[in-house]
Amino acid sequence: MARNFMYLYGKNSVLERLSCNPLSIKKIYIQDNFRDEDVIKAVTSAKIPFKRLSEKDLLRIKKAERIQGILAEAEKFRYAEFKDLLKVSDGIRRSIVFLDNLSDPHNLGSIIRIAACFGGFAVVIPERNSCDINETVLHVASGGENYVPVSISPNLSRSLEEAKEAGYWAVGAVVEGGDDINKISLPFPLCLVLGSEGKGIRPGLQKHLDMKATLPMGGAKLSFNVAMSFSIFAHEIAKQLKA
């Protein structure tokens, strides 16, 4: 029988959720030798039931690396409506990151964390052939999901078309053949399209792009993973928005 909740684990993930949305947490399990006073204070202040357990018993509930002595039962992740991502919120029109065929939860979690750090981003993932927001993603995101709306799309190409109809420009990150990201002016409001490692951006999405951009690499003939690439693009987007 499927669970109607998700496990959050790790100090940052639980602490950020306690700060942003404590009502989404139903119960917390704390390792008997856990002594982080900031976390304990946040748990008691939120008046959330918690139970002390041995490390062995904690791992029986959730077998994972880096639990860091704390585990929370939380509501399932709530995806944002795509149409809401296109709206101006608190005076900000978000840059929207479209992720094509991203299957690694660690990369997806890293992208959400990076997006939260820079601010002003939303993420769109496809309904099929992609990692969804699971417990590993939330752990790697380290609480970033509280600051970055994520929408799931049944048709990524159609969603990109809708964004363009709403006034957005579509820029694709490609390994080769694009304009040097350091030498171009990015058009805003912006949709940044990132493809999976190995496959890149599918042709069906590429036909909707207004521009292709490449990260110049003068060193070894290797490549950045998608999360590393996004961090560089996110920095450039944030810099040009402030210029």
Interval 10-67: pLDDT, tens: 999 999 999 999 999 999 999 999 999 999 999 999 999 999 999 999 999 999 988 9
- Walk across the sheet containing 95-99 and list its strands: 150-153, 121-126, 95-99, 190-194, 169-173, 211-214, 179-180
pLDDT band at 175 (very low <50, low <70, confident <90, very high): confident
Q: Does domain 5-75 match CATH 3.40.50.800?
A: no
pTM: 0.96
- The CATH 3.30.1330.30 portion of the chain extends over 5-75
Q: Which amino acid is at 115?
A: A
Pair of tokens at residue 93 = 């029109």
pLDDT band at 2 (very low <50, low <70, confident <90, very high): low
Q: What is the pLDDT of residues 197-206, one digit of tens each?
A: 777 899 999 9
- The CATH 3.40.1280.10 portion of the chain extends over 82-242
pLDDT at 222 over 90: no
CB pairs under 8 A, 24+ apart, for 80-86? 80/122, 80/149, 80/150, 80/151, 81/151, 82/124, 82/151, 82/153, 82/159, 82/162, 83/162, 84/149, 84/151, 85/122, 85/124, 85/149, 85/151, 86/162, 86/163, 86/166, 86/168
Q: What is the pLDDT of residues 70-113, one digit of tens each?
A: 999 999 999 999 999 999 877 789 999 999 989 999 999 999 99
pLDDT band at 218 (very low <50, low <70, confident <90, very high): confident
Residues 22 and 15: beta-carbon distance below 8 Å: no
pLDDT at 151 over 60: yes
Average pLDDT, the chain: 94
Pairwise CA distance, residues 95 & 186, whole Å: 11
pLDDT at 197: 73
Q: Which residue has the tokens 């992208």?
A: 111
pLDDT at 199: 79
Pairwise CA distance, residues 176 & 160, whole Å: 22
The CATH fold assigned to 82-242 is Alpha/beta knot (3.40.1280)
Q: Are strands 50-53 and 70-75 parallel, antiparallel or unpaired?
A: unpaired
Average pLDDT over residues 107-123: 98
pLDDT at 54: 97
Q: Are strands 190-194 and 5-9 parallel, antiparallel or unpaired?
A: unpaired
CA 235 to chain centre: 16
Q: How many Cα atoms are found within 13 Å in the side-chain-facing hemisphere of 64? A: 18
pLDDT at 196: 82
Which range (6-15, 139-148, 222-231) has the least confidence?
222-231
pLDDT at 139: 97
